[in-house]
Amino acid sequence: MKWIHRCLIPAACSLLLSGCWSQKELNDLAIISAMGIDLKEGGGYTATLQIINPANVAGGLQGGGAGTNAPPVSIYTAEGDNIVATNRQATQKLPRIRYYAHTNLLVVSEELARKEGIELILDAIERDAEFRMTSVLVIAQGTTAGELVKVLTPVDKIPANKVIKNLRFAEQQRGEHVTMNVQDIIKDLTAEGKEPVIAGFIIEGDPKEGVALENTHQTEPPARIGLGSLGLFREGKLVDWAEGSAARGTVWILDKLKGTNISIDWEDKQDAVVYEVIRQNTKVTAKLKQGKPAINIQVQAEGNIGETRVQLQLDDPKVLLKLEKAFEKEIEAELITAVEQAQKAKSDVFGFGESIHRSYPEEWKKLKAEWHDAQFPELKVDVTVEAFIRRTGLRNNPHKRN
Amino acid sequence: MPSFFKSKKRKARKRNNQHSQPPEFCQVIHPSLADQLDYIRNKTGSSTDIVIRKASFDEKLGIRTAIVYVEGISDKKTINDFLIESIIKNRELHEKHPKRDPFDILLDEVVALGDVAVHHQWDSIFQSLMAGDTVILIDGFSKALSASTRGGEQRSIEEPGSQVTVRGPRDGFTESIGTNIALIRRRIQNPDLWNEMMKIGTVTKTDVAIVYIKGIAKDEIVDEIRSRLKRIEIDSILESGYIEQLTEEHVLTTFPTYYHTERPDMVAGNLLEGRVAIIVNGTPFVLIAPALFIQFFQSVEDYYGRADIATALRFLRILIFFISIIAPASYIAGTTFHQEMIPTRLLIAIAAQRETVPFPAFVEALIMEVAFEILREAGVRMPRAVGSAISIVGALVIGQAAVQAGIVSPAMVIVVAITAIANFATPSFTVAISARLIRFAFMLAAATFGFYGIILGLVMLTVHLTSLRSFGVPYLAPIAPVIPSNIGDTLVRMPMWAQKKRPKLVASDRNETRVGDNQKPKPDESRGMKRTSEKNGGQT
């Protein structure tokens, strides 16, 4: 027993010899909240790193924290031939260790997404141990990623948080966008017969004013980040933007709609009744009709009457049934618009190919080669919608206007 | 090195030799009273608290007696009323029984006290004298009589200061061993409650009692405790902690293998579980053995209150134990190794606070923990009159000034505060103290390896706890090894009617059952009557 003890003590001591392995003090970290990637002129990339100045975010008494006198984030840009080189190059200016574990937002410029595609970038992101696969990826629509990352935002002090929350809550309430993180996108990119949709963000106003702290000191900031359209992809490249009802139709077919508002015309009055969708269920099934693939979309929607602008007998079930029919028609139209746009762009963002692959694996082998160019644009899509009015809000009939 | 050890051994042997020499006062008693009294005066150095009262017993024969007692530890009123007075008044007794020995007359007729003994040797005389008994010496006899007159000023039975409960008895042990045994006897009125008294300490001759319930306690454990106590060779036992340190099984551990308490109800409860209590004269803290790890998370109130609430509190206490061990370590690990595990917004908040802190997180935590330990130690040792100064200085220095000066971050203050409160909330002080010590080891592990180090530490802690034994019983029983019949009183506290067996490894195998069958309370029979009458009605 004695010799075991004699051996164990040096062994235990040697544990300490490794020192503080991979120890990083918090004040040595540059916490990167967002990374914007642009194409550099003449090849290579420009990366824009949005780094959090913690003392300026947290506010309060702490650390000389004149929370409002200095910007909550600082921007560092770097250039390089590839993603890793670009990011390493940033250390030339950064006084701290780059820390990507809290990089929740990745911004890719429209130019890069259209010309080169996003697949190459994602490889570096996925390979890196610090980067999260749950980082949200968005496209800088009509601007560069650098510009978008630089804009300071009010309310949510960290612009990256603003973008993510903006996207998430808009997705919940309006249903024209989908929050896609790196993992989702890689899944869609690698799946057969499925393409990703990625939300676009735009800058309203003058981007140059967005970099100054004054931007957040005004009730109406001169430069604002807002949601744009929904980007449709083909083979990793951005091909088209879906807007309005086409965007919502796309989200609907993807079965990711969580809530939205549908308005219909009633008795010659435009947008007279508003239907608030509270839950829905969409099923996409593939069928073969005379050897040709066809897609059947079944939508079940449930919602409330949110607003009436005409006189309606809402306590009459017959009226409600009529309304339901009208809503169904409206929803069906949106879905068809979405399908038509995607077919025009030859981008199977709905994963119709995937559902055919699942149901008819043998046929899919034949269809696969010319799916995007010939099969998908010609695909026959049937839409059936079932809408149900659960409640009419806190009132039955609208109050009488004389 | 080896030579050093040898010399030490030799020295030890020498010391043993000195010990084994027969003490001086083993001598036989001289029959002359004057010589006897001289001897007592010599032996005690004519100490002023030794009172010698001479009295003549039977004038005709002129038998002179002396009453010797120690003032303060004996009951003066008893001595006056039942010894001195009866000796002086009963002078004609020898005439009534002329044939009888005056010593026997004294023993049988005069001394009107319960506990009387005859001594033939000086050491036993001194032993009873120093314990508060009164010694009666008679001229011409080389033996002496002692009567129990123990008494004197003692602290009365008060509410214990260390284990306070909301519900439960309010009496606590005192410094007197007799009172303490009585407090237990009052709760367990059964002849099977046995106690064995022995004197330990070559100088102090402290009374130590082993108390157990015969038939419920395991005989092997009682024997083991007895033999370990007999083994003790020390000059003094001033507190039960001496016994604990001299008889525990594991020296290299911070965890206690004895439970100690000031509460008689807790001792009674433990005796009924088959444990053995060791009571030491001069301290209100009674030792209980064998002590298991889970016991230190139990409180007497668990058994007095409802089972569901007690269970919730047990979980809370386990949580508290872990917080007091690993909270600062987790802070260090989180802020220096695993920043990705902290939610972004929290990380930013902590980073903002740490921005001005000039130390690494480990040093920061160490400073705060040490500062807090100093504060706590000061709070315990300080005279009560200046006690309030501590809280002011502590709150200002640690809470405010250090944060405002930017030396520590507020998050660290919160962590230290939570750790401290968790430590205070641990029901057992001994486990709380060992958690205090282990905490620093965990902080070091976290500063070296991050959460990996903490997990490594927890694994080592578990291995260590599993290796411990308390009087042969595995320390983590009944969790490791799993004893299904006793699991109801560990993390969960099952209702009384569901805990049918005594702790298996602790209590005797012959008497395991505590609760009878069908003890689960049921609704009143009368409620069921309607149904039975309906049934009957249907049949007829």
Query: Nearest-CA residue of chain A relative to B360?
Result: A25
Closest CA relative to residue A106, chosen from A128, A133, A76, A74: A133
Query: Nearest-CA residue of chain A relative to B333?
Result: A23
Query: Does residue A11 lie within any of the structural domains?
Result: no
CATH number at residue A380: 3.30.300.210
* Distance separating alpha carbons of residues B446 and B508, to the nearest angstrom: 44
Instruction: Please report the pLDDT score of residue B540 as a whole number.
Output: 43
Inter-chain CB proximity A26 and B450 less than 8 Å:
no
Higher pLDDT, B536 or B49: B49
Query: Does residue A62 lie within any of the structural domains?
Result: yes
Neighbours of B428 (CB within 10 A): 23
CB-nearest partner of A31 from B348, B356, B448: B348
Query: Does residue A6 lie within any of the structural domains?
Result: no
Inter-chain CB proximity A21 and B449 less than 8 Å:
yes
Q: How close does chain A come to B449, measured CA to CA in Å?
A: 6
Q: Contacts of residue A13 in chain B, CB cutoff 8 Å?
A: none
Q: Write b or e for each residue in B42-53: b if 16 or more Cβ atoms lie within 10 A of its Cβ, otherwise e.
A: ebbeeeeebebb
For strands B473-474 and B469-470, give the pairing.
antiparallel
Query: Does residue A18 lie within any of the structural domains?
Result: no
Looking at the fold, whether A209 and A318 belong to one and the same domain comes out as no
Looking at the fold, whether A36 and A180 belong to one and the same domain comes out as yes
Joined together, the tokens standing for residue A163 give 């973008």
Looking at the fold, whether A290 and A350 belong to one and the same domain comes out as yes
Instruction: Please report the pLDDT score of residue B477 as a whole number.
Output: 86
**The residue to which tokens 């990256």 are assigned:** A160
Looking at the fold, whether A236 and A304 belong to one and the same domain comes out as no
* Distance separating alpha carbons of residues B77 and B149, to the nearest angstrom: 9
Mutate to test the interface with B, among A8, A26, A132, A156 (most CBs of B within 10 A): A26
| Strand (E) or helix (H) holding B204 | none
* Distance separating alpha carbons of residues A63 and A67, to the nearest angstrom: 10
Looking at the fold, whether A176 and A29 belong to one and the same domain comes out as yes
Joined together, the tokens standing for residue A113 give 């997404």
Q: Identify whether A398 is preceded by a cis peptide bond (ω within 30 of 0).
A: no
β-partners of residue A39 are: A45
Inter-chain CB proximity A54 and B355 less than 8 Å:
yes
Looking at the fold, whether A186 and A81 belong to one and the same domain comes out as yes
Looking at the fold, whether A238 and A263 belong to one and the same domain comes out as no
Q: pLDDT for B114-161, tens place per residue?
A: 788 888 888 888 888 888 889 988 888 888 888 888 888 888 999 998
What ipTM describes this predicted complex?
0.85
Neighbours of B337 (CB within 10 A): 24
Q: pLDDT of chain A along its 402 residues, tens only?
A: 678 778 887 777 776 676 667 788 888 899 999 999 999 988 899 999 999 988 888 655 444 444 457 889 999 999 999 999 999 999 998 999 999 999 999 999 999 999 999 999 999 999 998 999 999 999 999 999 999 999 999 888 899 999 999 999 999 999 899 999 999 999 999 988 899 999 999 999 888 888 888 888 889 999 999 999 999 999 899 999 999 899 999 999 999 999 999 999 988 888 899 999 999 999 999 998 888 899 999 999 999 999 998 888 898 999 999 999 999 999 999 999 999 999 999 999 999 999 999 999 998 998 888 888 888 998 999 999 999 999 998 988 888 766
Output the 3-class SS for A264-328: EEECCEEEEEEEEEEEEEEEEEEEEECCEEEEEEEEEEEEEEEEECCCCCCCCHHHHHHHHHHHH
Query: Which of the listed residues A220, A242, A264 is the one where a domain comes to its end?
Result: A242
Looking at the fold, whether A82 and A124 belong to one and the same domain comes out as yes
Inter-chain CB proximity A24 and B336 less than 8 Å:
yes
The CA R_g of chain B, rounded to the nearest whole Å, is 31
Q: Contacts of residue A19 in chain B, CB cutoff 8 Å?
A: 448
Ranges assigned E (strand) in B245-323: 259-261, 276-280, 286-289
Query: Does residue A271 lie within any of the structural domains?
Result: yes
Query: Which of the listed residues A225, A242, A259 is the one where a domain comes to its end?
Result: A242
Q: How close does chain B come to A296, measured CA to CA in Å?
A: 42
3-class secondary structure, B439: helix
The total number of structural domains in chain A stands at: 2
Instruction: Please report the pLDDT score of residue B291 as a whole number.
Output: 93
Q: Contacts of residue B355 in chain A, CB cutoff 8 Å?
A: 27, 54-55, 62-63
Q: How close does chain A come to B331, measured CA to CA in Å?
A: 11
* Distance separating alpha carbons of residues A157 and B110, to the nearest angstrom: 97
3-class secondary structure, B490: coil
Joined together, the tokens standing for residue A357 give 């692959």
Residues B349, B354, B357, CA angle at the centre, nearest 5°? Answer: 160
Q: Contacts of residue A9 in chain B, CB cutoff 8 Å?
A: none
Looking at the fold, whether A261 and A348 belong to one and the same domain comes out as yes
Is residue B151 within 8 A of residue B132, CB to CB? The reply is: yes
Looking at the fold, whether A67 and A142 belong to one and the same domain comes out as yes
Can you give the residue range of the structural domain that contains A98?
Answer: 24-242
**The residue to which tokens 């017959």 are assigned:** A318
Mutate to test the interface with B, among A4, A23, A98, A164 (most CBs of B within 10 A): A23
Query: Which of the listed residues A242, A274, A295 is the one where a domain comes to its end?
Result: A242
Q: How close does chain A come to B468, measured CA to CA in Å?
A: 17
- For B74-77, the CB contacts below 8 A with 24+ separation are B74/B132, B74/B133, B74/B134, B74/B149, B74/B150, B74/B151, B74/B152, B75/B132, B75/B149, B75/B150, B75/B151, B75/B152, B76/B151
Query: Does residue A4 lie within any of the structural domains?
Result: no
Query: Does residue A89 lie within any of the structural domains?
Result: yes
Looking at the fold, whether A237 and A249 belong to one and the same domain comes out as no
Inter-chain CB proximity A26 and B335 less than 8 Å:
yes
* Distance separating alpha carbons of residues B315 and B493, to the nearest angstrom: 10
Q: How close does chain A come to B234, measured CA to CA in Å?
A: 29
Looking at the fold, whether A223 and A259 belong to one and the same domain comes out as no
Is residue B25 scored above 70 in pLDDT?
Answer: no
Closest CA relative to residue B141, chosen from B25, B38, B30, B57: B30
* Distance separating alpha carbons of residues B9 and B398, to the nearest angstrom: 50
CB-nearest partner of A102 from B335, B347, B447: B347
Neighbours of A69 (CB within 10 A): 9
Inter-chain CB proximity B447 and A54 less than 8 Å:
no
* Distance separating alpha carbons of residues B37 and A294, to the nearest angstrom: 123
* Residues shown for chain A: 402
